[in-house]
Amino acid sequence: MIEMDSNSITKSSKKGTILSAAFYALAAVLLITAFVSLVACHQNISRQLEQGVPVQGNELAIVNLYLTSCVQYFAFAAAMVFCGKAAPKVLALKSEAPVQVTPYMLNAPAEATGPDYAEEVEPEDEDMDFEAWGFREKEE
């Protein structure tokens, strides 16, 4: 049975809480950036439409503008929320792991003895393979 120090458990839970808070703060910053970018993107497209740029034929450009300007921030914010939720669990698993793992073997390795393991192979004639395929070395 592995006995753990209660101090190491509280240290990992404090680290998990701090790390989670950092991930959540980063997610909040990314969300704010995403919404600001979304508003700026929408205003840019609205101004272009007011100037007479048609929507038909420019659908790909409009979607591309949204994808490149703000969607990535929403995705990164979601990733940071996931990391914030996973961090305490990962650190808790790490603290539950045994401190030192010693490898052991059930049986000692077997010694290789006898001719079963080392058979002699007769050397082949080097030209034989090439002759079978229709290749022959030119003798000069």
Tell me: the pLDDT tens digits for 87-96? 888 887 766 6
Tell me: the pLDDT tens digits for 11-42? 656 777 888 999 999 999 999 999 999 999 99
pTM over 0.75: no
Q: DSSP string spanning the chain?
A: -----HHHHHHHHHHHHHHHHHHHHHHHHHHHHHHHHHHHHHHHHHHHHHTT--STT-HHHHHHHHIIIIIHHHHHHHHHHHHHHHHHHHHHHHHHS-S------SSPPPP--STTS----PPPPHHHHHHHTT--PPP-
Residue 109 has pLDDT above 80, yes or no: no
Q: How far apart are CA 76 and CA 93, in angstroms?
A: 25
Say which residue the tokens 């808790």 belong to: 92
59-66 and 6-50 helices, crossing angle to 10°: 150
Q: How many percent of the chain have pLDDT more than 90?
A: 31
